A and B are shown apart, each in its own frame.
Chain A
């Protein structure tokens, strides 16, 4: 791969500027910008000319991949991107930014929580999926598996899935979640096609060195596909964000404001400059 790094970082900078502030209570922890460039280019390459669904995307990797293509930093990328996210702030910000990219790539975004069954219009509709879910530090990867299943349900027989999850050989839980995710993927008919280990860093103050990998899965056995999509059972919701940390909220709703994309005027006041006329 060859591309102009300055143009790429400036393109990603546009996406970063468009993102809402992350909510840590929902494990919204943003990837660092250089790693976004790497991931977005990779996503664009893997999903070149494909219709892709992102099940959750606070980082903005979907828009990043699209924007790199639209800005002609790279000459490949998805044909269309659909975002499903439970945070209306993210859904709306992607919709606003996506409209500007519409001549180059079709982007749509919808409010959806993985606890709910996948709406029928998204079932089996896409060529590939991308997830970077809550990493399941204290729940044996339950949250990762829930997102994986939704991504899998949203895709066609010959599907590809990119999974971004924690990967630190010194932290046993990350290796356990990787193993459990791969085990579930095998049950659903996938193989690991490619693994980029310890690739990304995050704005994570209590684990600044914790990295994630990018794991590419390819479905080789459509016979293992789930025939329907059902709501998550209550036992799976109970430890969704970790032990004794249940999934409690369906959506994060955006408060309407006239100040879209600007600092909230509740956070500052203006003080006039008094100019004497003497």
Chain B
């Protein structure tokens, strides 16, 4: 785990087939989005990374300390196939809505993280060295948090009290990385 990850805030997410589109197709489409608009809207759902109550306050606190927010994604096969409804408007507070910028397309998601360039980077992430950084599970170790219904979350690096044998480290293979930038996460509607 490099220093940028250790000092910053991490949003961990599993990604796979989504809205009837393969992950490779999504990455290619999102790279084009960044080249055209300078931003990527990365769609997602669920309550564990709610824009207002989780991602935005978490990101603001990390940036206040002079560090960055990174999203690290584990690629996986997913049966998830939400209807490919295309979002037409977005909002960073759920009250004031604006049209999705031309060149950006998000399908089948209630929320989106706002990213800059997406990078294909492969490395092992040790969940035993991460703790939940916000919300009701704040302080719980990431490997314990991610065994239940939660498949994503906001984490901070916290070194283990005692060294852990490599075979016992709860590792996740990361395949995609991006910086998350203000307003960090937004609501979507069609």
Question: Which A residues, 75 to 122, have Cβ-Cβ distances below 8 Å to chain B?
Answer: none
B137 sits at the interface (CB 8 A):
yes
* Interface contact B57-A205, CB-CB below 8 Å: no
Binds B, one of A39-47, A48-56, A214-222, A243-251: A243-251
Whether B47 and A137, one on each chain, are in contact in the complex, defined by CB atoms closer than 8 angstroms, is: no
CB–CB B53/A25 < 8 A: yes
Assess whether A244 is in contact with B57, with CB atoms less than 8 Å apart: yes
Residue of B nearest to A243 (CB): B61
**Bound Cα distance from A207 to B150, whole angstroms:** 8
- Cα distance A209–B57 in the bound complex, in angstroms: 24
Number of B residues near A (Cβ < 8 Å) is 25
Q: Which residues of A contact B145 (CB under 8 A)?
A: 206
Given the known inter-chain contacts A25-B94, A248-B93, please indicate yes or no for A206 contacting B150, CB distance below 8 A.
yes
Q: Is the interface of B mostly helix, strand, loop or mixed?
A: loop
Contacts of B94 in A (CB 8 A): 25
Overall SS of chain A's interface: loop
A5 in the interface (beta carbon within 8 A): no
Q: How far is the CA of A137 from the CA of B48 in the complex (A)?
A: 14
Q: Which residue of A lies closest to B145 (CB)?
A: A206
Contact: A171 with B137, CB < 8 Å?
Answer: yes
Contacting residues, chain A, for B137 (C-beta < 8 A): 171, 206-207, 210
B84 contacts the other chain (CB 8 A): no
Give the contact-size bracket for chain A: 20 to 34
> Which residues of the other chain, B, contact A27 by a CB distance below 8 angstroms?
53
Q: What is the chain A residue whose CB lies nearest that of B140?
A: A171
- Interchain CA distance A170-B134 in the complex, whole Å: 16
Q: Flag if A245 contacts B57 (CB, 8 Å).
A: yes
A208 neighbours in B (Cβ, 8 Å)? 148-149
B135 proximity list for chain A (CB < 8 A): 137-138, 206-207, 242
Interface residues of A, Cβ cutoff 8 Å to B? 24-25, 27, 135, 137-138, 166, 170-173, 204-210, 241-245, 248
Q: B residues engaging A (CB < 8 A)?
A: 46-48, 50, 52-53, 56-57, 60-61, 64, 93-94, 134-140, 145, 148-150, 153
15 contacts between A and B (CB under 8 A): A24-B47, A25-B94, A137-B136, A137-B138, A138-B138, A171-B140, A172-B139, A205-B47, A205-B148, A205-B150, A206-B48, A206-B149, A207-B137, A243-B60, A243-B61
9 A-B pairs besides A171-B139, A172-B139, A244-B64 with CB distance below 8 A are: A24-B47, A137-B134, A206-B47, A207-B135, A207-B136, A207-B140, A210-B136, A243-B61, A248-B93
